[in-house]
Amino acid sequence: MKVVHSGEARRASRTGSRNTGIDAPTSPDGLPLDTILRGDCVAQLSRLPARSVDLVFADPPYNLQLQGELKRPDDSRVDAVDDAWDKFESFEAYDAFTRAWLLAVRRVLKPTGTLWVIGSYHNIFRVGAMLQDLDFWILNDIVWRKTNPMPNFRGRRFTNAHETMIWAAREPGAKGYTFNYEALKAANEDVQMRSDWLFPICSGHERLKDETGHKVHPTQKPEALLARVILSASKAGDVVLDPFLGSGTTAAVAKRLGRRFIGIERDATYADAAQARIDAVETLPDLALATAPTAREAPRIAFNALIERGLLMPGTLLTDAKARVRAMVRADGMLSLETAPGLGQIGSIHRAGAIAQGLDACNGWTYWHMDTREGLRPIDSLRARVRSEMAMAAE
Amino acid sequence: MKVVHSGEARRASRTGSRNTGIDAPTSPDGLPLDTILRGDCVAQLSRLPARSVDLVFADPPYNLQLQGELKRPDDSRVDAVDDAWDKFESFEAYDAFTRAWLLAVRRVLKPTGTLWVIGSYHNIFRVGAMLQDLDFWILNDIVWRKTNPMPNFRGRRFTNAHETMIWAAREPGAKGYTFNYEALKAANEDVQMRSDWLFPICSGHERLKDETGHKVHPTQKPEALLARVILSASKAGDVVLDPFLGSGTTAAVAKRLGRRFIGIERDATYADAAQARIDAVETLPDLALATAPTAREAPRIAFNALIERGLLMPGTLLTDAKARVRAMVRADGMLSLETAPGLGQIGSIHRAGAIAQGLDACNGWTYWHMDTREGLRPIDSLRARVRSEMAMAAE
DNA sequence: GAATAGACTGAATCAGGCG
DNA sequence: ACGCCTGATTCAGTCTATT
């Protein structure tokens, strides 16, 4: 297992050598793709080119404050998170840490990139407030509901059965971030994906164990959780970065889903385990990864194109679905309303539809219909024909 | 309808007169019990005796800061929360407001008292961080999952389907707070009550309307939510205070459940409506007070769950029962048709099944089959497996 | 009166390309 | 940067009007 140290990683990238056993060419802007960078995440992030990463997933230390050992009712000790990396002197220290890595992440994010952070009530409120203070723009908070959480042993609180993720854009007003709405909806019984997700915790075969059978990492996240995050907010080929890679779940899932990854981890044991894990992952075939051409991304067709291609003749009468409103197709691609309200007014299919309904806006492609042998059909069916003809021609 | 103004309330309490139609004696320490105090909550809280309240439920302004108008796909306007009381100049102003009311609440809380605050991602992170800064001690964060949230109309985010509550003790190491563990567990099919709760939003008869049929308050909370809070963290006869009473849900439920209430509200319209509502509430007989609402849900399984749980691998070929039609499972949970009609088209299991058959609709669960050692089996059998696993997890 | 269709509603930080 | 135009987008439920 070859693991690249930070300085070496940069050199290796520049020369285009293989870092992880798969082909890992350096991107034009010098990103060390498909690599684990070892060291402090702020230091490593500051060496990466600015505006180069599409998606960041961060699972920072939780700042847990257990007041001593936690015991089960049978007096056995719970193997809680008490590692040194999870200790902070104070909230101030934790905030300073959070501020530093968030700023470093903001620098490497593309303007269209987004950030996910996962946490529990111990730290997520501080992270969320800092995100807002630093002018990130929260898009959603997502609740990971655990099917099998650890019970509350003392019976003094509710079973802590969830963790919270914050999904944020780089800044207010950020446009063009990736959100695969249609795919998520199609995969969810054709209703919108909600902000509450249900997954089991990571256990069984998926949970990394060392030679002695102990878990390698105390907070290994389930791959299913990362898969939904990555499929939601990135495209195949995008660069996914995890500044607290830990056991490598983000990188392993990113690789499997055909994304490029950059992981940062300062603990050698974790980095070694993550590298071995990533090396064993195979990327799914392209066909299984292809993104559906969404309606939003489909090529734009001008109404004019229907006329130019002879699918619609000037002078044709269009109507609404109930054939109450009428409008005539003009040679210049505008419609002329022939019924009130708006009688005699001229506008695009969208404007004319809006005027006819007394609305501010209207999708003329679905509003206007034409008479065919099979009855009234929306002109959108003609647009679909043009689109498929164009696709054929492009082959 | 008699409504007591702040000064009058104090006098009335001292003389033991009735304020709300039920017997409202002044407590030995001079608390104006079962009363709505009108005015700013910080000012009103500062007049109450210290260390006198058992439970505080607070629904502060969320600081939504909406950007513009939002319309539904049918072009109707969403009646958003744009009230003046929800507007703050900046995060700093919101933090100062939060700090002031939290400190005022801390003073009136008994050492054994606890505080609940509800919010959304717009404000809850700031509230949570401030709670920690002020040395409250977070016991749980609770997620209210809405059965019927407003959808995301633009398809640019996940449906915002939950709100978050923080449950906190007065200070670290606080002992003796009320948590009715056994009652909650008994009411929850004998499993511990979890941190994710499922309730519908407040609508129908429960939603207060004015004479013109408009909602009295834009953010009225459901009584079921408050009932679980109050039953969880207070005993009969305890004093429950709400510094942002609004439409009075906290007080109405507290009265029904045999608790004493103090509400603070600065808007006269809200206070009037709350008073009338509270007056109409009858306290339940003692015997009925022991029961809590139960939570049981029939799990709805998305096709995605099969992939996420590793029961179905991306790239797998599915067929119809006669193995004539073929489709490939994609990583994002959609199917890609590999046979005509619809060759190359992509959709959910239901859409793809419909396209393949030339129908408007199709139940993909029973239409699509997978090859197993026992021959073709409908994917519905996998769904059954996920359901039973989830049922096991819930036991 | 019963059944059905259609209107209405809910704490929402809800677009993107081109000129 | 700003403005204009195209054109994509909703779930669970209650209430009202109509058949």
Tens digits of residue pLDDT in A39-50 = 999 999 999 999
How many separate helices (H) and strands (E) can be counted in chain A? 13, 14
Closest CA to B61 of B119, B141, B21: B119
User: Lowest-confidence range among A17-31, A351-365, B244-258, B267-281?
Assistant: A17-31
Q: Please return the burial class of B178, using the count of CB atoms within 10 Å of its CB with bins 0-12, 13-18 and 19+.
A: middle
Share of chain A above pLDDT 70, in %: 86
Strand C and A132 CB separated by under 7 Å? yes
B202 secondary structure, DSSP code: S
CA–C1' B149–D12 (A): 8
User: Lowest-confidence range among A293-302, B138-147, B265-274?
Assistant: A293-302
| Nearest by CB: B151 against A183, A192, A284 | A192
User: Of residues B34 and B306, which shows the higher confidence score?
Assistant: B34
Topology annotation, domain A35-67+78-288: Rossmann fold (3.40.50)
Dihedral in degrees, nearest 10, Cα atoms A35, A38, A43, A45? 20
Instruction: Name B24's Cβ contacts closer than 8 Å, sequence gap at least 6.
Output: B13, B16, B17, B18, B33, B34, B35
User: How large is the angle between the packed helices B124-133 and A124-133, nearest 10 degrees?
Assistant: 110
Instruction: Name B8's Cβ contacts closer than 8 Å, sequence gap at least 6.
Output: none
Mean pLDDT value across residues A212-232? 96
Angle at B114 between CA B112 and CA B117, to 5 degrees: 170
Confidence of residue A14 (pLDDT cuts 50, 70, 90): very low
In the sheet that holds B137-146, the strands lie side by side as B35-38, B260-265, B239-242, B53-58, B109-119, B162-169, B137-146, B196-199
Confidence of residue A5 (pLDDT cuts 50, 70, 90): very low
Confidence of residue B26 (pLDDT cuts 50, 70, 90): low
Strand D and B68 CB separated by under 7 Å? no
Q: Do B125 and A122 touch (CB under 8 A)?
A: no
Strand D and B79 CB separated by under 7 Å? no
Mean pLDDT score of chain B, rounded to an integer? Answer: 88
Q: Which nucleotides of D are covered by protein (CB under 7 A)?
A: 5-16
Locus of tokens 């769904």: B383
pLDDT of residue B300: 60
Q: Under a CB-based contact definition with an 8 Å cutoff, are residues B222 and B201 in contact?
A: yes
Number of A to B CB contacts under 8 A, please give it: 211
pLDDT of residue B18: 37
**Residue A292 CA to its chain's centroid (Å):** 15
Residue A62 token pair: 């939780």
Which amino acid does the sequence have at B239? V
Share of chain A above pLDDT 90, in %: 74
Q: Do A288 and B328 touch (CB under 8 A)?
A: yes
pLDDT of residue A242: 98
pLDDT of residue A1: 38
A9 pLDDT above the threshold of 90: no
Q: Which nt is closest to the CA of B202, judged by C1'? A: C10
User: How large is the angle between the packed helices A249-256 and A223-233, nearest 10 degrees?
Assistant: 60
Chain B residues with CB under 8 Å of A158 CB are 140, 142, 167, 184, 192-195, 232
pTM of this structure: 0.87
B393 pLDDT above the threshold of 70: no
In chain B, CATH 3.40.50.150 covers 35-67+78-288
B53-79 pLDDT, tens digit each: 999 999 999 999 888 899 999 999 999
Nearest-CA distance A58 → chain B (Å): 17
As a whole number of angstroms, the distance between CA A12 and CA A229 comes to: 30
| Nearest by CB: A188 against B155, B156, B302 | B302
Chain A residue with the nearest C-alpha to that of B90: A133
As a whole number of angstroms, the distance between CA B334 and CA A247 comes to: 29
A310-360 pLDDT, tens digit each: 999 999 999 998 888 999 999 999 999 999 889 999 999 999 999 999 888
Mean pLDDT value across residues A269-298? 90
Mean pLDDT value across residues B176-205? 89
Q: Under a CB-based contact definition with an 8 Å cutoff, are residues A254 and A261 in contact?
A: yes
What sign results for the dihedral spanned by CA atoms A117, A123, A128, A130? negative
Q: Which nt is closest to the CA of B163, judged by C1'? A: C11
Which amino acid does the sequence have at B64? L
Interface list for A 129-158 with B (CB within 8 A): 129, 131-133, 138-143, 145, 147-149, 151-152, 155-158
pLDDT of residue A176: 95
Interface list for B 47-106 with A (CB within 8 A): 71, 75, 91
Q: Which nt is closest to the CA of B148, judged by C1'? A: D12
pLDDT of residue B99: 98
Most B CBs within 10 A among A115, A130, A194, A256, hence the mutation to make, goes to A194
CA–C1' B204–D14 (A): 6
| Nearest by CB: A287 against B138, B140, B328 | B328
A134 pLDDT above the threshold of 80: yes
As a whole number of angstroms, the distance between CA A323 and CA B34 comes to: 62
Mean pLDDT value across residues A55-82? 69
As a whole number of angstroms, the distance between CA A56 and CA A131 comes to: 14
Confidence of residue A144 (pLDDT cuts 50, 70, 90): very high
Q: Which nt is closest to the CA of B146, judged by C1'? A: D12
Longest alpha-carbon distance in chain A? 86
pLDDT of residue A25: 53
User: Of residues B139 and B388, which shows the higher confidence score?
Assistant: B139
Closest CA to B196 of A165, A119, A144: A144
Interface list for B 375-394 with A (CB within 8 A): 390, 393-394
Nearest-CA distance A176 → chain B (Å): 10
Q: Which secondary structure element, helix H or strand E, spans residue A112, and what is its range?
A: strand A109-119
A203-221 pLDDT, tens digit each: 999 999 999 999 999 999 9
pLDDT of residue A278: 98
CA–C1' A306–D8 (A): 20
Q: Which nt is closest to the CA of A173, judged by C1'? A: C13
Mean pLDDT value across residues B22-47? 85
Strand D and A298 CB separated by under 7 Å? yes
A366 touches chain B (CB under 8 A): no
Strand D and B204 CB separated by under 7 Å? yes
Confidence of residue A389 (pLDDT cuts 50, 70, 90): confident
A243 pLDDT above the threshold of 60: yes
pLDDT of residue A84: 65
| Nearest by CB: A142 against B139, B158, B334 | B158
Mean pLDDT value across residues B285-307? 62
Instruction: Name A172's Cβ contacts closer than 8 Å, sequence gap at least 6.
Output: A135, A137
